[in-house]
Structure 1
Amino acid sequence: MISLRTLARRAPRIVVIAGLLAGAAACASAPSAGRPIEMAGVPEVSDPAPIVSGTMRPYQIRGRWYQPQEQPNYDETGLASWYGDQFHGRPTATGERFDMHALTAAHKTLPLPGLVEVTNLANGRRVVLRVNDRGPFVDGRIIDLSRGAAEALDMLNRGVGEVRVRYLGRAPRLSSVQRLQVAEAAPPVVASPPPTASPRQTYWIEVAAFPNAQAARETAERLGGPAQVQAATNGAMFRVISGPWPDANAAEQARQETISRGYSSAQLIPSG
């Protein structure tokens, strides 16, 4: 059994096009690195899992409605983030347990469970992931990666990164055996340079919101540092915010630390 971490160390120009083993999406046998391998565009799933009942219903998060649906031609470019320790072992939207080392992801509207191909536009690495959860509910982000997926894409230290997400179809049942496939990396994708941020662009973290000022003040005091309370214009809500940070990567690292302290709804807010 070869872990993704070992593959990444031994062969930096190798990427993982993933299938799934029963009960463990991160491990499987792989062909020899010296053997000629043909790049497979879409993994063949012989035993697809049924869509989990209830995951295709419209739902509302923070006042915004989302409508899951079949999207056979889904192909989108945007920002990806990753999540790990704070959710490890918890049930996902499909009922599967989240394994931060497995090749999984969360998406707001694709069928569950499904397969997506994710390409890191900074280095051309690609990986196929099992989508088994909902999220991320942050503007501008299109997918949340497990720690294992972020590591395979070499995004672990960046917090967020630009990716291309392509829907491949239904995921296999966890009880079926889908062999891990390894292929030589495609030439790096030449990404358009990100737009230059205004010199005044900064990022804040919205930690939580409360209907009374006292609860907000107590939370800000527990967080310490740059945390502060901001009242809504109508005085009905009080937000605890933290920051500012000069760039999105620094802010995302701070957001992950905030989440690890128990504030799972913390989100980034661009300002300026």
Structure 2
Amino acid sequence: MTARKMGRGALVVAMFSLLAACSSLGGRGAPASAPVVRDPAPIVSGTMRPYQVRGRWYRPEEQPNYDEVGMASWYGSAHNGRPTATGERFDMNALTAAHKTLPLPGLVEVTNLDNGQRVVVRINDRGPFAEGRIIDLSREAADELGLLAKGVGRVRVRYLGRAPRLGGGAVLTASTTSSRPPAPTDAAGAEAGPFWVQAGAFSDADQARRIADSLSGWVRANGADAQFRVVVGPWDDANAAESARQAVVARGYVDALLISGS
């Protein structure tokens, strides 16, 4: 277990001393129950007002029965340390996430529908604003769910209610033999690349080449679906690739994906 994992585990245990939980918090290999929050943090002033992003209006509200299936993405070092919508600092190594309309701060249970992994995360930010995404996870939450290498994944998000004044994240489902797809590793045991950023897939080859040139990227032709995929990279480190994905998103390619493989 790394020092970062040990430190996070100790912090979560300390936070849960403030709560009455259904059962003790477990790490990998020790399933836990979602926390029962006795002293919830107040909703942060201003975060429940309607707001507009790229011409689209979002209207936050209490949604006690919120239970939705959709695509999740994640964000990491490019945003680490920056203020979130609640005023808290984004910590990519904590179990947190961004949601467009749920109360802040709140707790949600996120299940990776491909492998059954489940976590509880603290919602403390707004987003994601890419079409078809329902939640944006911290790097740590994506790691626990097995979504780092893929960049996106199909998940179920269930609202649990208001968050405690501190923390609230927990790993609910873990196995001593991880159900995550095995990732290639280097000699040090870290996930090996290469990692690429896919800006988009296009049916027009000339359009794909123009976009690739503007991003200093490449065009990959896929005869199976007659699509020309614009990719940027590669990077050996997933964090560096995620920073590049955020930069591509900022250029207007909001559906940019983090992919792995040669």
Same fold (TM over 0.5): yes
Q: Displacement of 1:220 after TM fit?
A: 8.1
**For residues 169 and 4 of structure 1, what CA distance do their matches in structure 2 show?**
28
Asked whether 1:263 is paired with 2:247, we answer no
Q: 1:255 touches 1:266 (CA, 8 Å); kept in 2? A: no
Residues 86, 33 of structure 1: CA spacing in aligned structure 2 closer, same or farther, 3 A cutoff? closer
* Higher Cα Rg, which structure: 1
Q: Displacement of 1:223 after TM fit?
A: 2.8
1:124 aligns to what? 116
Q: Displacement of 1:203 after TM fit?
A: 6.8
Asked whether 1:144 is paired with 2:140, we answer no
- Name the % identity: 56
2:85 to 90, 93, 100: 93
Can you list the C-alpha shifts for 1:163-184, whole angstroms capped at 9, x where unaligned? Answer: 000000000002xx86957666
Q: Displacement of 1:147 after TM fit?
A: 0.1
Unpaired stretches in structure 1, ≥5 consecutive residues: 7-17, 23-28, 186-201, 207-216, 228-242
2:140 partner SS: helix
Residues 107, 156 of structure 1: CA spacing in aligned structure 2 closer, same or farther, 3 A cutoff? same
Residues 257, 73 of structure 1: CA spacing in aligned structure 2 closer, same or farther, 3 A cutoff? same
1:47 to 39, 45, 68: 39
2:95 aligns to what? 103
Which structure has more relative contact order (CA 8 Å, sep 6+)? It is 1
Aligned AA (1:152): E
CA-atom RMSD, angstroms?
4.3
TM-score (norm: length of structure 1): 0.61
Q: 2:116 touches 2:173 (CA, 8 Å); kept in 1? A: no
1:86 partner SS: coil
Aligned AA (1:59): Y
2:101 partner SS: coil
**For residues 245 and 220 of structure 1, what CA distance do their matches in structure 2 show?**
9
1:152 partner SS: helix
Can you list the C-alpha shifts for 1:44-102, whole angstroms capped at 9, x where unaligned? Answer: 11210000000000000000000000000000000000000110000000000000010
TM-score (norm: length of structure 2): 0.64
Q: 2:200 touches 2:229 (CA, 8 Å); kept in 1? A: yes
Asked whether 1:170 is paired with 2:162, we answer yes
Unpaired stretches in structure 2, ≥5 consecutive residues: 7-11, 17-23, 176-197, 203-209, 220-226, 235-239, 258-262
2:200 to 199, 204, 211: 204
Residues 19, 171 of structure 1: CA spacing in aligned structure 2 closer, same or farther, 3 A cutoff? farther
